[in-house]
């Protein structure tokens, strides 16, 4: 027994797979091809458009992940800088001299968030 399902409940990737599978089945069996050819062509073009849309969606997902990683890197730099300032407020802290050395290095190098991305990442790794 074939169960009926609602295509709008499918995720984009599942819907694309459904379209591609349907196109393959229709092409294989060529049922009433003379009358249904425009519908087959429309379905095929819809599947191609869906593939292009999925590629764009995946690219946008990668860009979003990259932006999140950039934000995390910037927050980590701010956190490091604030932690160093916290240590520098207490001159009797045992880490004071080390913190002062690190903050002087950071001041000499400048704000990493104003550097190009590859230099910024390498600088943060070095620090």
pLDDT score at 2: 67
Asked if 99 and 87 touch (Cβ cutoff 8 Å), the reply is yes
Predicted confidence pLDDT, tens digits, the chain (127 residues): 667 777 777 777 788 888 888 888 888 888 777 888 888 888 889 888 888 888 888 888 888 888 888 888 888 888 888 888 888 888 888 888 888 888 888 777 777 767 777 777 777 777 6
pLDDT given at position 1: 64
Contact 112, 124 (CB under 8 A): yes
**Model-level pTM?**
0.51
pLDDT of residue 29: 86
Quote the DSSP letter at residue 111: -
For the chain, what's the residue count? 127
pLDDT of residue 88: 87
In Å, how far from its chain's centre is CA 81? Answer: 27
SS3 at position 23: helix
């Amino acid at each position: 027994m074939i169960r009926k399902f609602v295509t709008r409940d499918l995720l984009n990737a599942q819907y694309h797979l459904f379209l591609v599978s349907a196109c393959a089945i229709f092409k294989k069996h060529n049922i009433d091809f003379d009358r249904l050819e425009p519908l087959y062509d429309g379905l095929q073009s819809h599947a191609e458009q869906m593939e292009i849309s999925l590629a764009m969606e995946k690219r946008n997902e990668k860009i979003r992940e990259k932006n999140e990683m950039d934000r995390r890197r910037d927050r980590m730099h701010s956190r490091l800088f604030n932690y160093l300032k916290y240590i520098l407020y207490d001159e009797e802290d045992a880490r004071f001299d080390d913190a002062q050395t690190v903050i002087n290095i950071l001041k000499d190098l400048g704000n990493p968030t104003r550097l190009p991305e590859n230099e910024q990442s390498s600088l943060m790794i070095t620090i």
